[in-house]
């Protein structure tokens, strides 16, 4: 009985990830509440981390769990951030004869997120590292935008509510999702300092930046993640 329960724990956490994504979509579409929708992305990311951790600790791996995780991620880290981005497009100044079409570029995010997840599920190179930006990282970055707007950082606000910046941002992030870009995984298989040096470094600087700059630090954290991954892989070669 105990083993049967343990077998379903990771999938239950994955379902909580999916549930969070669905709630976030409702908040955006029916309540126009981008703040709570952004929190739903962060909550989904927490569940996404712990379902993998639970499967490793409980040694409960299954093909169903792997597919379920990807399906949940498409919703929470693909569809939900796309709806948030679409709302940001609507809040930005509208360009006559352009915005009616440009705003829909936001929905490239779930398309490329689905491609990213499909590649991950079938790419044997991505067991200990990633090829392309992980979908949770992209979603967390997008989810930080409404929270940055809420804190009223003038410098960031001018960019976030610029339709040309938003369109450029979507194209760049979609490219990063499917690009042949090696990035380190944040999964700790042990606590060895040498093997996990760059992971510890990322966590340390991320904590410091978030402590001082709150959600405005998230774009810098994502950039630092890519930079440290590049340094780690270059030195390893």
Its domain, for residue 12, covers: 2-182
Q: In this structure, is residue 224 part of a structural domain? A: no
Q: In this structure, is residue 64 part of a structural domain? A: yes
Q: In this structure, is residue 225 part of a structural domain? A: no
Q: In this structure, is residue 218 part of a structural domain? A: no
- Residue 191 neighbours by CB distance under 10 Å: 8
Identify the pLDDT of residue 55.
81
88-104 residue pLDDT tens: 999 999 999 999 999 99
Q: In this structure, is residue 207 part of a structural domain? A: no
Does 1 score more than 60 pLDDT? no
CATH of the domain at 13: 1.20.120.1760
Q: In this structure, is residue 137 part of a structural domain? A: yes
> Which of the four pLDDT bands, split at 50, 70 and 90, describes residue 194?
confident
Does 59 score more than 60 pLDDT? yes
> Which of the four pLDDT bands, split at 50, 70 and 90, describes residue 2?
low
Taking residues 29-40, report their average pLDDT.
96
Identify the pLDDT of residue 19.
98
Q: Containing H/E element for 114?
A: helix 108-122
141-169 residue pLDDT tens: 999 999 999 988 777 888 899 999 999 99
Identify the pLDDT of residue 53.
82
Q: Environment class of residue 143 by beta-carbon count within 10 Å: exposed (0-12), middle (13-18) or buried (19+)?
A: buried
CA–CA separation, 25 and 139 (whole Å): 13
Q: Domain count of the chain?
A: 1
Does 237 score more than 70 pLDDT? no
Does 117 score more than 60 pLDDT? yes
- Alpha carbon of 17 to those of 5, 43, 132: distances in Å? 19, 7, 22
> Which of the four pLDDT bands, split at 50, 70 and 90, describes residue 5?
low
Nearest Cα residue to 38 out of 149, 157, 146, 138: 146
Q: In this structure, is residue 190 part of a structural domain? A: no
Nearest Cα residue to 110 out of 63, 39, 50, 178: 178
Percent of the chain with pLDDT over 70: 95
**HEC secondary structure over 166-230:** HHHHHHHHHHHHHCCCEEECCCCCCCCCCCCHHHHHHHHHHHHHHHHHHHHHHHHHHHHHHHHHH
Q: In this structure, is residue 222 part of a structural domain? A: no
Q: Containing H/E element for 121?
A: helix 108-122
> Which of the four pLDDT bands, split at 50, 70 and 90, describes residue 190?
low
Does 191 score more than 80 pLDDT? no
């Amino acid at each position: 009985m105990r083993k049967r329960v343990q077998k379903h724990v990771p999938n239950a956490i994955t379902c909580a990830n999916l549930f969070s994504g669905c709630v976030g979509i409702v908040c955006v579409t029916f309540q126009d509440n981008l703040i709570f929708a952004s929190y739903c992305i962060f909550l989904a990311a927490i569940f996404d981390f712990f379902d993998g951790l639970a499967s490793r600790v409980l040694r409960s791996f299954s093909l169903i769990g792997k597919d379920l995780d990807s399906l949940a991620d498409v919703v929470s880290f693909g569809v939900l951030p796309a709806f948030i981005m679409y709302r940001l497009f609507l809040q930005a100044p509208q360009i006559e004869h352009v915005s009616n079409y440009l705003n829909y570029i936001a929905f490239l995010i779930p398309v490329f997120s689905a491609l990213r997840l499909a590649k991950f599920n079938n790419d044997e190179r991505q067991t200990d590292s990633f090829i392309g930006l992980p979908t949770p990282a992209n979603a967390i970055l997008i989810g930080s935008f409404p929270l940055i707007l809420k804190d009223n950082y003038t410098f960031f606000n001018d960019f976030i509510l610029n339709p040309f910046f938003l369109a450029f941002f979507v194209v760049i992030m979609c490219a990063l999702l499917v690009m042949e870009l090696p990035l380190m995984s944040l999964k700790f298989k042990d606590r060895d300092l040498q093997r996990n040096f760059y992971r510890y470094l990322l966590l340390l600087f991320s904590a410091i930046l978030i402590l001082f700059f709150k959600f405005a630090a998230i774009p810098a954290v994502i950039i630092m993640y890519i930079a440290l991954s590049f340094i780690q892989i270059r030195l390893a070669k």
